[in-house]
Amino acid sequence: MNTRPSRLTPDEWQESAALLSPAEADLPAGRHAFHREELMTFIQQDTQTAADAPTPAHPAPARARRMFLRPLIALPVAACSLALIGTGLLTLTGNSSSTSGGEVAGPPLTATVGTGTSSGVPRLLDQISHAAAGGPRVTLRPGQYLYVESKVGSTYEKTVDDKTTLVGTGVHRRQIWNSADGTKGWLIDPAVFPEGGGTVDRVNEKGEPEPPSLNGPSHDYLATLPTDPDALLKKIYKETEGMGNSPDQQAFTTIGDMLGESLPPAALNTALFEAAGKIPGVVQVKDAVDAIGRPGVAVARLDETTGARTEWVFDARTYTYLGERTIQVRPNGGDSGLIKPGTILHTQAITVRQAVDHMKEVPSSDV
């Protein structure tokens, strides 16, 4: 496994495009929409016809591979970058077959694309690692739930009568509760469940219980991972082989999945950032912004297949993790080619991360 970054990262190609021949500057063939898998729930809701809709007596659960950002944040995430369930599926049970009534639908989300550079990445990750090791920690006792609240928003392709347009969910509140072992969960997100939220069950394609994994981690599972950066990265590459658009991009995505709607132990948190520094193509973006406008510095990587860049945003002074953003960097993105540079495919800002005693309990400080 090559852990040495190339002299010129994919994210910096745009700056040197004038130095390349037309053939060398062409984008890779076989481009796929980054957000197809990220936003499976939205696609399913939009393409479901009245004839296919379940009757009220027999509601069909909505399913998506990335409902935590990777939030999904944690997917996710993480919606996107949302913790995702590797080869399995999450079953979402609730009023998800209804339309949201336009509660969070709107125009595409956009922002200025910051410049990515490989210069200074090791120092930045070292500062982030030290901040993660010395910062305040949330303790999750047996029987408790991890509560994560965030503001999220996404843009996705919507096709009606062979006409494709870009639709934004709008930045909105998202709340999720997960048990320490990952077997029980509840999600409130108007882009997924129009009213009141619904349960989040970890199952595979056959409806059988799916054990926690790197891309769908539980709190207890994270405690079992190696804290040596090299051993951790080796495990990530091995267990995510064949996933994503490239091994390096999938490794970066997998680490991001553990930062949002989960709670890595302190030693693992440090190892995650050290491991990220060993992935080729990782850059920093000095002018990054999370979903609620908090400015920061980002650790990022460009997906060469989709032309979208995933950014982990940190406070530029304290290096506290703020959230994640995936933004289109290259033109003609998505299956439709409509996704322009500056389109935000997914954005998330973590606002609360706390242990609670009961499902659906909101910390008193946030009431």
Hey, what are 310's tokens? 């995933």
Return the sign of the alpha-carbon dihedral for residues 309, 255, 174, 164: positive
Q: Is 281 left (phi over 0), alpha (psi -120 to 50) or beta?
A: left
The kind and range of the H/E element at 314 are strand 308-314
β-bridge mates for residue 90, sequence order? 64, 202
Distance of alpha carbon 186 from alpha carbon 198, whole angstroms: 6
Distance of alpha carbon 26 from alpha carbon 343, whole angstroms: 20
Distance of alpha carbon 332 from alpha carbon 307, whole angstroms: 9
Q: Provide the residue type at 24 as one letter.
A: E
List C-alpha distances in Å: 347 to 70, 196, 255, 269, 274: 10, 22, 17, 21, 24
Contact 323, 291 (CB under 8 A): yes
Is this structure's pTM higher than 0.95? no
pLDDT at 365: 61
pLDDT at 135: 73
β-bridge mates for residue 64, sequence order? 90
Which residues, including other chains, have CB under 8 Å from residue 135's CB and lie 6 or more apart? 320
Distance of alpha carbon 77 from alpha carbon 152, whole angstroms: 9
Hey, what are 240's tokens? 């995510």
Contact 282, 301 (CB under 8 A): yes
323 closest CA partner among 197, 185, 148: 148
Return the sign of the alpha-carbon dihedral for residues 165, 106, 116, 230: negative
Collapsed DSSP state (helix, strand, coil) of residue 266: helix
List C-alpha distances in Å: 101 to 163, 274, 321: 21, 44, 33
Q: What is the mean pLDDT of each successive set of 10 residues along the chain, which is 367 residues long?
A: 43 41 31 36 38 41 34 30 30 39 70 95 95 83 94 94 92 95 93 86 79 90 96 97 96 94 91 96 95 96 97 96 97 94 97 95 73
pLDDT at 353: 95
